[in-house]
Amino acid sequence: SQQGEEDPQALSIQEGENATMNCSYKTSINNLQWYRQNSGRGLVHLILIRSNEREKHSGRLRVTLDTSKKSSSLLITASRAADTASYFCATDFAIGADGLTFGKGTHLIIQP
């Protein structure tokens, strides 16, 4: 099935820096969602952006969506050690079966 693909697969930055992760997908979507997963735990929803939206903010998170390029980005500003986790994008397709389709994720490490 179609999957979102995150880039990079891994990212290591210093605390206080900004972290940017990208997601590309292949077919039309209703919405795109970003999730966070701490090691060995379930996923936690961060932001949902609908296909008619271009940018959305939540605290230190900023998500953009470019439907013409079929891509999205997640920016975490002023990173903290507690932001260390894996981040996944999930696409909710406009046509076809229900169910969010996940990429393989970006593993983010924040160095103190």
Partner 1 sequence: DGGITQSPKYLFRKEGQNVTLSCEQNLNHDAMYWYRQDPGQGLRLIYYSQIVNDFQKGDIAEGYSVSREKKESFPLTVTSAQKNPTAFYLCASRRYNTEAFFGQGTRLTVV
Q: Which residues bind partner 1 (CB under 8 A)?
A: 1, 3, 30-31, 33, 35, 40-45, 48, 88, 90, 92, 97-105
> In whole angstroms, how close is the CB of 48 to partner 1 at the nearest point?
5
Q: How far apart are CA 104 and CA 44, in angstroms?
A: 15
Residues 49 and 63: beta-carbon distance below 8 Å: yes
Q: How far apart are CA 1 and CA 93, in angstroms?
A: 11
Q: How far apart are CA 97 and CA 95, in angstroms?
A: 7
> In whole angstroms, how close is the CB of 106 to partner 1 at the nearest point?
11
Whose Cβ is closer to partner 1: residue 15's or residue 22's? 22
> In whole angstroms, how close is the CB of 16 to partner 1 at the nearest point?
27
